[in-house]
Amino acid sequence: MTLAPTWDAIVLDEADGVATALRPLEAGQTIHLRYPGRIAELTVSEAIALCHKVAVTDLEPGEPVRKYGEVIGEASAPIRRGAWVHVHNLRSLRGRG
Amino acid sequence: MAETDRFLGYRRSDGTVGVRNDVLVLSATGLTGPTARRICAAIQGSKTVSMPYDAGVLGEDEAAQHRALVGLGRNPNVGAVLVIGGNPPKVERIAEAVASTGKPVEALSLDDCGHDALVLTDKGVRAGAKLARDVSSQRREPAPVSALFLGLECGRSDPSSGLTANPLLGLIADRVVDAGGSAVIGEATEWLGAEHLLARRAASPAVAQAILEAVRGREQLAMDAGVDLLGHNPGPTNIAAGLSTIEEKSLGNIAKSGSRPIQSVLAYAQAPPTPGLHLMDAPAYAPESLTGFTAAGAQVMLFTTGVGNSFTSLLAPTLKVSANPETCARLDVQLDFEAAEVFLGREPIEAAADRLFQTLLDVASGTATWGEILGEGEEVVSRFGAAL
């Protein structure tokens, strides 16, 4: 028998606006988030597939979205904490010919 | 890593060490591809690479194709080469550049065979058979980690690649570089958004400048083509798997490079001038990217995938690594190394790096990868421009 990990999603840097789901997450589920050096709780507002991103802070349109402590794009729509973050509400700032 | 870490390889007369000992049937021209395949089918254990072009290729494209053909022949995993092509000047120029390594090389052309592909086939099988007998006399010997040159690739990536599998490769790259070996990452489009982190690790201001210029060049290519990178890179498979932007993909991608200084930015298929970590300014698509590394002299590829990617180099054994738990459960005869336990927080990444390093030495010593067993390998040389 293997031990289950004690967290469901990981935040790579304290500055990050998103966590990555380490397992499929269900709408309404309260999950454990692993930050560097601490664990926090978050209630997920919609289903998040394995490896997809969930917002850990509210993000306004135009606000930079960080992962790895680095900017991965900007919010293209209002994003509430607990929501799925993907191409429908996060847009790249590079190579948009 | 212990000082005593060794693998068993084939020592070449130019000082390099092969991890395989192949006879390569190298077709330098499009006209001779079918003949190369016939010769390869007749000689057990040989491999063939065909360049589908020849006349009319110009300038930088011509230079890159020549560099790639010569580089594939010079790769330490190749014990002997049969070069075939349209005419004597073409095959002899390649054969001479390959033969300077000291390995046996034969060259044959259609012009010398009465323009008869079947005569070329007959002569090629006879010459190739002798080369195969010749290389079969070579034996593996202990070799140091400093003799390794790793190609670091990712394909069909997902966020588990950037979180776990690529950082794991980075730890292996650091170990090999620290031992005096070499490593390369390419896929220059996937430096976009992370180029400031790479430039910070450049061994000199000129290298930092070259990194930034390479990224500007790729971004401009997308802009000039009127292409939105979203949907191209990240592509549909990446997006379905959870990658949202090129910046996110790039930040995960560059983790493969580890943490050591970047010695140079290589052109496509260019051999590194020194040991250490290098970048290659090359297209991102795995088949052409891997061939750029093979032609530069890499003997082993470490290739991470998120959702699965069966493609491998033909000449360099390619270890497939994934950290996605669903992928690891699904692809038992594709993945050579599973890191899902690290992704899930159940195994320290350093422990997985110890396991992967041992797997790397095993494969370098002759253990077959799934890609070798299943015949997933090809070499595909990039084209860069229009032809006459």
Query: What is the CATH classification number for the domain harbouring B28?
Result: 3.40.50.360
For chain A, say whether B223 makes contact (Cβ under 8 Å).
yes
Query: How many domains is chain A built from?
Result: 1
Q: How many helices (H) and strands (E) does chain B have?
A: 15, 16
Question: Looking at residue B107, what is its pLDDT?
Answer: 98
The answer to the question of residue B6 being in a domain is no
The answer to the question of residue A97 being in a domain is no
Contact A65, A85 (CB under 8 A): yes
The answer on B349 and B228 residing in a single domain is yes
Residues of chain A in contact with residue B346, where contact means CB-CB under 8 angstroms, are 2-3, 5
The answer to the question of residue B325 being in a domain is yes
Contact B294, B151 (CB under 8 A): yes
The answer to the question of residue A37 being in a domain is yes
The answer to the question of residue A81 being in a domain is yes
The answer on B153 and B113 residing in a single domain is no
The answer to the question of residue B2 being in a domain is no
Question: Looking at residue B297, what is its pLDDT?
Answer: 98
The answer to the question of residue A2 being in a domain is no
The answer on B205 and B126 residing in a single domain is no
The answer on B283 and B158 residing in a single domain is yes
Asked whether residue A2 carries a pLDDT value surpassing 60, the answer given is no
Question: Looking at residue A1, what is its pLDDT?
Answer: 41
Q: pLDDT tens digit string along A44-77?
A: 999 999 999 999 999 999 999 999 999 999 999 9
Which of A51, A52, A72 is the closest to B324 by Cβ? A51
**Residue A41 CB: number of other CB atoms within 10 A?**
9
Nearest Cα residue to B291 out of B275, B280, B278? B280
Question: Looking at residue B372, what is its pLDDT?
Answer: 98
The answer on B188 and B67 residing in a single domain is no
In the block, tokens 């040989």 appear at B46
Instruction: Tell me the pairing of strands B318-322 and B300-305.
Output: parallel
Residues of chain B in contact with residue A50, where contact means CB-CB under 8 angstroms, are 242, 324-326
Report d(CA B368, CA B374) in Å as an integer.
10
Report d(CA B190, CA A32) in Å as an integer.
31
Q: How confident is the model at residue A41 (pLDDT cuts 50, 70, 90)?
A: very high
Q: Tell me the residue range of the domain where A86 lies.
A: 9-91
The answer to the question of residue A15 being in a domain is yes
Report d(CA B196, CA B194) in Å as an integer.
6
For chain A, say whether B228 makes contact (Cβ under 8 Å).
yes
Which stretches of chain B drop beneath a pLDDT of 50?
A: none
Which domain-ending residue is among B135, B156, B189? B135
Which of A3, A49, A73 is the closest to B242 by Cβ? A49
Domain containing residue A42: CATH number: 2.30.130.110
SS3 B86: coil
Which domain-ending residue is among B103, B135, B167? B135
Report d(CA B209, CA B206) in Å as an integer.
5
The answer on B102 and B41 residing in a single domain is yes
The answer on B155 and B98 residing in a single domain is no
Residue by residue, DSSP assigns A17-84 as: SEEEESS-B-TT-EEEEEETTEEEEEE-SS-B-TT-EEESS-B-TT-EEEETTEEEEEESS-B-TT-E
In the block, tokens 């010569």 appear at B70
In the block, tokens 């930034």 appear at B212
Which of B219, B241, B244 is the closest to A90 by Cβ? B244
Q: pLDDT tens digit string along B318-349?
A: 999 999 999 999 999 999 999 999 999 999 99
Which domain-ending residue is among B110, B135, B160? B135
Residues of chain A in contact with residue B345, where contact means CB-CB under 8 angstroms, are 5-7, 10, 22, 34
Question: Looking at residue A97, what is its pLDDT?
Answer: 66
The answer on B165 and B119 residing in a single domain is no
The answer on B107 and B162 residing in a single domain is no
Report d(CA B49, CA B83) in Å as an integer.
10
The answer to the question of residue B104 being in a domain is yes
**The model's pTM:** 0.96
The answer on B165 and B116 residing in a single domain is no
Percentage of chain A beyond pLDDT 70 is 94
Q: Tell me the residue range of the domain where B99 lies.
A: 22-135
The answer on B44 and B153 residing in a single domain is no
- Closest B-chain CA to A48: B242
Question: What does the mean pLDDT of chain B come to?
Answer: 96
Q: Which residues pair with B185 in a beta bridge?
A: B152, B279
Question: Looking at residue B294, what is its pLDDT?
Answer: 98
Query: How many domains is chain B built from?
Result: 2
The answer to whether the Cβ–Cβ distance between B345 and A51 falls below 8 Å is no
The answer to whether the Cβ–Cβ distance between A51 and B192 falls below 8 Å is no
The answer on B117 and B164 residing in a single domain is no
Asked whether residue A5 carries a pLDDT value surpassing 70, the answer given is no
